[in-house]
Structure 1
Amino acid sequence: MSDTSFEPRNERHNTGRNRKKSYKKKSFAQELVSTFLYIIVITGIFVAIRTFLFAPVSVEGDSMNPTLEHEDRLLLNKVSSVDRFDIVVFPAPEDPDKQYIKRVIGIPGDEISYRDQVLYLNSRPVEEAYVDLSQESDEVAAYYNSDFSLQTLEGVERVPEGSFFVMGDNRVNSKDSRSFGFIDIDSVIGETSLRIWPIDRIGGLD
Structure 2
Amino acid sequence: MNTDQAPEPDNRPRKQTWKRMIWSFSKLIAVVLILTFFVRGFLFTNYIVYGKSMMPTIHDGERIIVNKVGYEMKEPSRFDLIIFHATEESDYIKRVIGLPGDEIYYEDDMLYINGVAHEEEFLEVHREAHENGLFTEDFDLEGQTEKTTVPDGHVFVLGDNRQNSVDSRHIGFVSTEMIVGEANMTFWPPENMRFFK
TM-score exceeds 0.5: yes
Asked if 1:189 is matched to 2:180, the reply is: yes
Asked if 1:136 is matched to 2:143, the reply is: no
Q: TM-score, normalised by structure 1?
A: 0.80
> Could you say which residue in structure 2 is the equivalent of 1:80?
70
Could you report, residue by residue, the CA deviation over 1:15-50 in whole angstroms, capped at 9, with x for unpaired residues?
xx95xx534434543443333232122101101101
Paired residue for 2:49, among 34, 40, 59? 59
CA distance in 1, matches of 2:118, 2:106: 10
> Could you say which residue in structure 1 is the equivalent of 2:115?
123
> Could you say which residue in structure 1 is the equivalent of 2:160?
169
CA distance in 2, matches of 1:202, 1:25: 46
Q: TM-score, normalised by structure 2?
A: 0.84
Structure 1: give runs of 5+ residues left out of the alignment. Answer: 1-13
Count residues with an aligned counterpart: 185
CA distance in 2, matches of 1:133, 1:34: 57
- Relative distance call for 1:39 and 1:177 in structure 2 (3 A) is same
CA offset at residue 174 of structure 1?
Answer: 0.4
Could you report, residue by residue, the CA deviation over 1:41-72 in whole angstroms, capped at 9, with x for unpaired residues?
21011011011111222211110111111112
Asked if 1:111 is matched to 2:106, the reply is: no
Structure 2 counterpart of 1:120, which letter?
Y
Which of the two has higher C-alpha Rg?
Answer: 1
Structure 1 counterpart of 2:22, which letter?
L
Structure 2: give runs of 5+ residues left out of the alignment. Answer: 1-6
Could you report, residue by residue, the CA deviation over 1:87-139 in whole angstroms, capped at 9, with x for unpaired residues?
011122xx32211110000111111111121111111111112222332311x
CA distance in 1, matches of 2:150, 2:178: 16
Structure 1 counterpart of 2:43, which letter?
L
Structure 2 residue matching 1:189: 3-state secondary structure: strand
CA distance in 2, matches of 1:77, 1:70: 20
Between the aligned residues of both structures, percent identity stands at 36
Structure 2 counterpart of 1:34, which letter?
S
> Could you say which residue in structure 2 is the equivalent of 1:159?
150
